[in-house]
Amino acid sequence: MPGNPINQVSGEERRVELFGVPVDSVDMDSALSMIDAMIASGGSHKVLAVNPEKVMAAQADRSIADSLRSASLLIPDGIGVVLATRLLHGRPIRRVAGADLMPEICALAARRDYKVFLYGGRDEINKAAVAELQRRYPQLSVVGSQHGYLDDDQMPQLVQRINASGAQVLFLALGSPRQELWMEEHLPHLSVAVCQGVGGTFDVLAGAVKRAPMVFQRLHLEWFFRLLSDPRRIVRQTALPRFLWLVARTWLYQIFRRPAA
């Protein structure tokens, strides 16, 4: 979008760090432009989402931190990450939800004739997600799909299938941190240009999981809706107050260490 300050930020200036985890100052338009350029230029690029849960997980697990740091694009998926980046770095960052980015990439792929492959989820979920994407984007070329319940010794065959399909985009729905670690191990052997970790987005596309109503989305309370829908998530959500305390402590440190005028 012309005139948007986010689209004028590039290279090293685009990326900031939250407690050792990078995040990119992008919006949907600039994220799509970057992905389009990645596909056009070739190579292998990871696109991952950053939210408070992943930031806190990376504090305890270096393999997760390393996988995030090696990504070509780290979208600010959680509103906590957006607010923390604004507060601590003063960046004009906006939330880019992975569940929104995947369909936008598919729309781009349909226009550009890029080929996509879907890996992950239960078999029926995977097939339903493919059917829904093809319903939405009739010109989309889905060149392959595979449910996520494969053994480790089946991975070489899967890698061969993905490469043989000619897919330029791989959507990976294995959940976090499994999908980040899977990319770290297997992406070097893949010929896809872009691999996006999409978490539970296949379930949403298949209609198996209801996304938060628009009022929750606009208020940035999707996390709360998911907690209400599935109280078992409370264990995972304990990362949020720990993240908020870390942000508050860092912000207060920045305030009090500033030299007096």
Range 231-242 average pLDDT:
68
- Residue of 213, 184, 220, 183 lying closest to 198 (CA atoms): 183
> How far, rounded to the nearest angstrom, does the alpha carbon of residue 81 sit from its chain's CA centroid?
13
Q: Phi then psi for 97, rounded to 5 degrees?
A: -75, 135
In total, the chain counts a number of residues equal to 261
Range 224-239 average pLDDT:
62
Say if CB 80 and CB 52 are below 8 A apart: yes
Please say if the pLDDT value at position 103 is more than 80.
Answer: yes
Domain positions in the chain:
5-251
Q: What confidence tens digit (pLDDT) does each residue in 34-86 have?
A: 999 999 988 899 999 999 999 999 999 999 999 999 999 999 998 889 999 99
Q: What confidence tens digit (pLDDT) does each residue in 157-210 have?
A: 999 999 999 999 999 999 989 999 999 999 999 999 999 999 999 999 999 877
pLDDT of 226: 61
pLDDT of 209: 77
Say if CB 198 and CB 102 are below 8 A apart: yes
Please say if the pLDDT value at position 1 is more than 50.
Answer: no
pLDDT of 43: 87
Helix, strand, coil % in the chain, rounded to nearest 5: 55, 15, 30
